C-alpha cells in the first residue's frame, strides 16, 4: 500500500508540474469596436463639466474621412475598416452642449485587421489635410484648414483645425486629433461655434480617448 500511495503522489506531482508549464491563454484579437472602447460619461465630464450627469450614445459608423480634391468635401479613405463606431455625449437634459456655446466632444473609433492598415489610413488623412492647409471657398461658403502640433500620443498621431464659414449660419470650429494605437485609429473631435476649442481640452480628450480603446 505504501508503494501504491507513493506512486500516486509521484503521478500527482508530475501532473501538477505539467500544468504549471502550460502557457496562459491569450485573449483573441478584437474583431469589433466595443462599448468599453470609449470614455465613460464620468471620465469625460472631468474635462467637460457641462456633461456631468449626462449620457452617451453609440452609433454605427462607416470609414474614416479624408479630404477630397478641392478641399471642400470629404471621401472615404481607401483602407477598409473591420469595425467602427461613434460615441456622442449629451448633458443631463439630453442636449448637445454645442447648442449652449460649449465645446462638444465626440469620439470615433476604427478597428483594422492589421497595424499596417491602421497606419496607412492615418497617413492618407494626414496627407490630404496637409495638402489643404489654407482657405478654400465656393459660392460664399468655405473652409480654412490648419495643422495642430501634438505631443507624443500612441504610435502615430495627427491634429488639424477646420473652420467652416457659411453666410447664413456663420462659423463653426472643429478641432480633431487622430491617434493610432495598434490596430485602432481613434478620432477625437471638439465642435464649437464661438471660436476655436481650447487646445488644452483638445489634448485632454485625445489622451483620454486613446487610453480608453483596446
Q: What is the pLDDT of residue 10?
A: 54
Contact yes or no for 119/156 (Cβ under 8 A): yes
pTM of the model: 0.85
Nearest to 174 by CA among 187, 183, 155: 187
Q: What is the pLDDT of residue 166?
A: 85
Contacts of 127 (CB under 8 A, 6+ apart): 66
Q: What is the pLDDT of residue 26?
A: 58
Phi and psi at 78, nearest 5°, equal: -80, -15
Q: What is the pLDDT of residue 174?
A: 96
Beta-bridge mates of residue 156: 180
| pLDDT, tens only, 128-145 | 999 999 999 887 789 999
Q: What is the pLDDT of residue 214?
A: 86
Asked: is 32-212 a CATH 3.40.1000.70 domain? The reply is yes
Total residue length of the chain: 214
| Three-state helix/strand/coil letters over the chain | CHHHHHHHHHHHHHHHHHHHHCCCCCCCCCCCCCHHHCCCHHHHHCCCHHHCCCEEEEEECCCCEEECCCCCCEEECCCCCCEEEEEEEECCCCCCHHHHCCCEEEEEEEECCCHHHHHHHHHHHHHHHHHCCEEEEECCEEEEEEECCCCCCCCEEEEEEEEEEECCCEEEEEEEEEEEECCEEEEEEEEECCCCCCHHHHHHHHHHHHHHCC
The rounded distance, in Å, linking the Cα atoms of 178 and 176 is: 7
List the chain residues with pLDDT less than 50: 1-9, 14-15, 19
Amino acid at each position: 500500500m505504501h508503494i501504491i500511495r507513493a506512486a500516486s503522489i509521484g503521478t500527482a506531482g508530475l501532473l501538477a508540474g505539467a500544468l504549471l508549464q502550460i502557457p496562459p491563454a491569450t485573449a483573441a484579437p478584437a474583431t469589433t469596436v466595443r462599448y468599453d472602447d470609449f470614455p465613460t460619461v464620468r471620465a469625460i465630464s472631468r474635462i467637460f463639466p457641462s456633461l456631468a450627469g449626462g449620457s452617451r450614445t453609440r452609433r454605427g459608423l462607416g470609414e474614416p474621412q479624408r479630404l477630397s480634391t478641392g478641399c471642400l468635401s470629404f471621401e472615404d479613405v481607401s483602407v477598409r475598416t473591420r469595425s467602427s463606431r461613434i460615441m456622442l455625449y449629451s448633458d443631463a437634459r439630453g442636449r448637445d452642449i454645442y447648442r449652449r456655446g460649449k465645446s462638444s466632444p465626440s469620439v470615433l473609433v476604427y478597428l483594422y485587421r492589421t497595424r499596417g492598415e491602421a497606419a496607412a489610413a492615418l497617413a492618407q488623412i494626414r496627407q490630404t489635410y496637409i495638402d489643404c492647409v489654407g482657405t478654400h471657398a465656393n459660392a460664399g461658403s468655405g473652409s480654412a484648414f490648419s495643422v495642430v502640433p501634438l505631443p507624443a500620443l500612441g504610435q502615430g498621431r495627427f491634429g488639424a483645425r477646420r473652420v467652416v464659414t457659411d453666410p447664413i449660419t456663420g462659423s463653426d470650429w472643429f478641432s480633431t486629433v487622430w491617434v493610432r494605437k495598434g490596430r485602432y485609429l481613434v478620432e477625437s473631435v471638439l465642435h464649437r461655434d464661438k471660436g476655436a476649442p481650447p487646445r488644452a481640452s483638445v489634448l485632454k480628450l485625445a489622451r483620454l480617448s486613446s487610453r480608453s480603446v483596446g
